[in-house]
Amino acid sequence: MQVCSYVVRRAEGWQFRVSLDFVVDFMWWTEEAEQQDDRAEVILLLTDELPLGLAIGLRDQFAHVPEMDGWSAKEWGNYLKRQLEEQLTRQQLQHAGGNRDGYGRRRNDIQLRSSALSVRLVWCKAGIGGEEGTSAGVGSSARASSREGQGLTAGLGAGLGLGSSASVGENARLKAITNTSLNAGSGSLGGRDKETIRLAASRLGDALAGRALLAAELQQLLAERLPEVAPAWRSAAQYAHLQGRVQLTAGVAPATARANRAPLRGRARHPRCRRCGSEALRRTPCGSCGQSSCAYCEACLALGRSRSCTLLLRGSVGAGAVPRPLAGGTAGAPPTGSLLDRWGLSPAQRAAAGEALRFLAQPQEAMARGGGRAAGLWQRVLARCGAGAAAAAATAANATNATNATNATAATHTLPGIPRFLLWAVTGAGKTEMIFPLIQYVLHRGGKVLVATPRRDVVLELAPRIATAFPDEPAAVLYGGSPQRWENARLYLATTHQLMRFYQVFDLVIIDELDAFPYHNDPMLAYAAEASCKRDGCFVYLSATPPLNLQREISRGKLPHAKVPSRFHGHPLPVPRRVAMYPVKEAVQRQRLPGSLLHSLSESIQRGAQIFIFVSRIRHIDPIVGLLQRKYPAIPVGGTSSQDGERTDKVLQFRSGEIRILVTTTILERGVTVPKSDVYILDADSSLFDEASLVQMAGRAGRSKDDPAGVVIFASPEWTRSQRGAVKQIKSMNAIAYKNGFLKRQLFRGL
């Protein structure tokens, strides 16, 4: 996209501005601002069309210098030329350090440089040379070309015949709307036009409030929700921008323009995506801005391409409905009691939810941070992502999906910024019910809540439960391809990827299954989560197996948290038992399973349990299914994995008992509840099973009230640290539950 750029002299100094529709800017500075006594003194149109990325770069680097008052149009032209030169040189440096697959690389630069020469004085305040305080220089240069300025002004007033043809076209279309659909009252042509733009801008501002959208996404939103604004969106967005309701920026922008570089950082810093925070390593020639190397972000392509010439609009939350701050309120009294009663929580759930509520209600000192906040965030993200240096960054860019764990070697959840609270609830504790009082509390105070979870199926499963819990509060359910994606609500339920479409809007962000793929170890999603939360909002994390860095923070006392050590039915977690066994590979080769394993399997079958068998490799599933089928011909055995198209069906069959033994991988470690089940983990010493996934898999057993004591077997040749850790974690949770009296008396044999 190309935009127009201009400089404007206001009382406080010169400003560089970027415009989607210069006619709107002109109107603003010459008419609107007058009423607010903030009229522009001089406006110089620098370029009609400049690649958006460059224009934003120039804007962000611009600083007022007193000498500028004396500059003539020619000097402004030279300034622009210098700045453009500098930007392009920097880009070329980055390009040299980056990939090398561009086709035809130097198409643009000559064009760009010649466009820099078209600086024109567009407007200057009457009598500026004499009475006003600006220096003589601008006075003379302004006077010299004031006739030109007047001419242009007149032209604008009459036929709006100025500026880039595109935006004028938009404006003309806007006028068309005025006459037909909106039909605003009488008055001069200009006056009516202004009204329409103002109205369109206010609607657009409302729709954009708290969102971060690329121009293409905004157009989709408008087409769906505000079709009358859509044709003139550039004018409306520009007006909202001038009002301060919408920030205009580039999708990909240079990493911290004036970076305080560490000496060994290397000269070429890649630009970053402002939506997802990832490095944008790839540059290609671009037809929409005409640059020969326009960077784009590969990490968040799934939500539409963010590149250095795409417009990213961030709407600020309107001043209309400011929710009361979460803290304070009812005379400092902890808001427990009445809030908790409604939900029928178990004692353990109740205690933890109460603590979370107290956390929400307490004044958050962490929020008293100044304006350096944004820069701080940026730098932290940089530091975090840059930790792995070039190698890690390169893989980060390539790994679009499955294995981008490599790019996040550094911890992602150690952000000191927004206050966080961890609800560490064991598997089967009933996490969802515990968040209801929190949601209710924030909604009651007029705040906005987001419940995010990494997986789409969990979102779909959660939606009806939330709907039943909050019948008066329609929730917007967001995921890839959701029909509700542009709806506004106070309660959102979304996959973590959808967080990228929000900007500083939520008072409470609840992240469920914090340690699950793809949220875990993805700096992009962590960045998105942080950006979506209000600066004075807070996070509540839910997990049965929090990542190690959070566990460390807990042990150091840095992370407020509450543990829910027992399941809702008040029975202890089944403690895994060890069975020594040769590796599965060998079992497959020898075509037999060891007696010890078969012995307990037979027991499980006899007691009528559904049996999960977890293996570490997909290729082991079929042979194991075959072995078991031969051993137990009367029992239906099934196998499924991520590559199985009939997975959902098989899980349903397993739930209903049509399949008695299900051989699977970690794909089913979470979210599956089967009433009477036993769990066998083969090759439990595999490096693919870490402590968290062992605990999760073990958590599939004994979840129902009717069969609370399932069997969990770790079968492996070796007893590894992960296995020990998992057993320890389960035992310690049981111990805490016992100590706090959450367990039913006769049932703590697992200790």
Binding site for other proteins (CB under 8 A): 101, 103, 216, 282, 284-289, 294, 296, 298, 301-302, 305, 307, 388-389, 391-392, 394-395, 398-404, 406, 409, 548, 551-552, 555-556, 724, 728, 731-732, 735-736, 739, 751
Contact 160, 168 (CB under 8 A): yes
Q: CB count, 10 Å around CB of 336?
A: 17
Residue 139 or 454 having the CB closest to other proteins: 454
Residue 150 or 400 having the CB closest to other proteins: 400
Start-to-end Cα distance in the chain? 65
Residue 307 or 660 having the CB closest to other proteins: 307
Residue 225 or 724 having the CB closest to other proteins: 724
- State the minimum distance, in angstroms, from the CB of residue 160 to other proteins: 23
- State the minimum distance, in angstroms, from the CB of residue 518 to other proteins: 11
- State the minimum distance, in angstroms, from the CB of residue 673 to other proteins: 27
- State the minimum distance, in angstroms, from the CB of residue 217 to other proteins: 13
CA quadruple 32, 33, 37, 42: dihedral sign: negative
Residue 104 or 633 having the CB closest to other proteins: 104
SS3 151: helix
Q: Which residues face 17 on adjacent strands?
A: 6
Residue 101 or 706 having the CB closest to other proteins: 101
Contact 631, 617 (CB under 8 A): no
Residue 47 or 404 having the CB closest to other proteins: 404
CA 477 – CA 671 distance, rounded (Å): 19
Residue 33 or 216 having the CB closest to other proteins: 216
- State the minimum distance, in angstroms, from the CB of residue 669 to other proteins: 20
- State the minimum distance, in angstroms, from the CB of residue 517 to other proteins: 12
Residue 610 or 729 having the CB closest to other proteins: 729
Residue 261 C-alpha from the chain's centroid: 27
Residue 101 or 472 having the CB closest to other proteins: 101
CA 391 – CA 162 distance, rounded (Å): 50
Contact 252, 297 (CB under 8 A): yes
- State the minimum distance, in angstroms, from the CB of residue 346 to other proteins: 20
Residue 536 C-alpha from the chain's centroid: 17
Ranges of beta strands (E only) in 285-427 are 294-296, 311-315, 420-425
- State the minimum distance, in angstroms, from the CB of residue 177 to other proteins: 21
- State the minimum distance, in angstroms, from the CB of residue 728 to other proteins: 7
Contact 611, 715 (CB under 8 A): no
Residue 286 or 573 having the CB closest to other proteins: 286
CA 63 – CA 573 distance, rounded (Å): 62
- State the minimum distance, in angstroms, from the CB of residue 301 to other proteins: 5
CA 471 – CA 460 distance, rounded (Å): 17
- State the minimum distance, in angstroms, from the CB of residue 401 to other proteins: 4
SS3 602: helix
- Record the tokens describing residue 238, joined without a space: 């520009």
Ranges of beta strands (E only) in 100-218 are 120-124, 212-214
- State the minimum distance, in angstroms, from the CB of residue 394 to other proteins: 7
Kindly state the DSSP code that residue 523 receives in the 8-state scheme: H
Tracing tokens 């950082």 back to the chain, one arrives at 265
CA quadruple 259, 262, 266, 270: dihedral sign: negative
SS3 583: coil
Kindly state the DSSP code that residue 749 receives in the 8-state scheme: T
Helices (H), 470-539: 523-532
Number of H helices, E strands in the chain: 25, 24
CA 265 – CA 392 distance, rounded (Å): 14
Q: What are phi and psi of 186, to 5 degrees?
A: -75, -165
Residue 183 or 403 having the CB closest to other proteins: 403
